[in-house]
Amino acid sequence: DQQVKQNSPSLSVQEGRISILNCDYTNSMFDYFLWYKKYPAEGPTFLISISSIKDKNEDGRFTVFLNKSAKHLSLHIVPSQPGDSAVYFCAARADSGAGSYQLTFGKGTKLSVIP
């Protein structure tokens, strides 16, 4: 039962263009959504997050959009750079009980930015 889904396993984008990574979720109890970037043989690195009460959060080249009614979020990277090539994980946070919060991850999307 995948509560967080990233339906595109891979995405290729030309350098300088926009990269759009998508994520869908099913659990209405998620209160925060996060994007992580992961290079091979390294741990996930936090990129950007958004509260469930917001619809947009922007940080430099990275913008996350949340459509709560559609249970859908997306990460926009503009302009894309070769160094952005990595696996991007969508994650959602929920209270697992007694005020302890845990992340549920999607399967990841491998982004390749072509020079």
Partner 1 sequence: DTAVSQTPKYLVTQMGNDKSIKCEQNLGHDTMYWYKQDSKKFLKIMFSYNNKELIINETVPNRFSPKSPDKAHLNLHINSLELGDSAVYFCASSRTGGSWTEAFFGQGTRLTVV
Nearer to partner 1, 70 or 98 (CB): 98
Nearest to 78 by CA among 60, 65, 90, 66: 60
Nearer to partner 1, 69 or 100 (CB): 100
- How many whole angstroms separate alpha carbon 115 and alpha carbon 112? 10
- Chain-centre distance for alpha carbon 14: 20
- How many whole angstroms separate alpha carbon 73 and alpha carbon 83? 23
Nearest to 82 by CA among 35, 21, 39, 43: 39
Using the rule CB under 8 A, is 46 a contact of partner 1? yes
Angle ∠(112,113,115) on CA atoms, nearest 5: 135
Q: What minimum distance in Å lies between the beta carbon of 81 and partner 1?
A: 22
Q: What minimum distance in Å lies between the beta carbon of 49 and partner 1?
A: 5
User: Which residues inside 1-40 make contact with partner 1, applying CB under 8 A?
Assistant: 31-32, 34, 36
Q: Contact letters (x/-) for partner 1, 84-113, by CB under 8 A?
A: ---x-x-x---xxxxxxxxxxx-xx-----
**Residues of this chain that bind partner 1 (CB under 8 A):** 31-32, 34, 36, 41-46, 49, 51, 87, 89, 91, 95-105, 107-108
